[in-house]
Structure 1
Amino acid sequence: MITVRYFAAAAEAAGLDTEQLPAGTAAQVRAAMVGLHGAALDRVLGRCALLADGTRVEADDPVPVGATLDVLPPFAGG
């Protein structure tokens, strides 16, 4: 299992801040998130960065057992 942490708009779309999901590739984890939380989260995920233990992951990159995956939408800053 991995720990998924949702932030900002991703947390709002998922309806929670943290959950446990099976490990796999980033694409597999994303599919699991969308399967659980639906189209609203799918729309937000298209704009999000996924970081596994602080390192950005893309679709084919592994998210190993025990990792923390942060789902980070773009933030306005200055």
Structure 2
Amino acid sequence: MAGIRFFAAAAEAAGSETTTVDVASIGDLRMILSDRHGAEFAKILSRCSLLVNGIRAADDAVPLAGTDTVDVLPPFAGG
């Protein structure tokens, strides 16, 4: 199962900082997490960057393995 880490607003909307999911791709992950955590989370997720093992995964076809770690990062500002 891939390990998922939520940060900032994504963690708040999910009600957790971590979870595990058994999925084959980033697209599947988005669907499962949206179903699991509801409409407000799905809205936040649509604006998030997803990193798989530290590398940005912009394409829903990016495959996921059971040993992968996915970081869900909402947009942030700062300087």
Classify the TM-score, shorter chain: over 0.9
Unaligned ranges ≥5, structure 1: none
The total of aligned residue pairs comes to 78
Unaligned ranges ≥5, structure 2: none
- More strand by percentage: 1
Q: Identical aligned pairs, as a percentage?
A: 44
Offset of residue 12 of structure 1: 0.7
Deviations 1:1-42 (CA, angstroms, capped at 9, x unpaired): 000000000001101000011131101011110111010110
Per the alignment, residue 22 of structure 2 pairs with 22
Q: Is it true that 1:50 corresponds to 2:50 in the alignment?
A: yes
Q: Calculate the TM-score normalised by the size of structure 1.
A: 0.95
Backbone CA RMSD of aligned residues: 0.8
Runs of 4+ in 1 over 2 A off after TM superposition: none
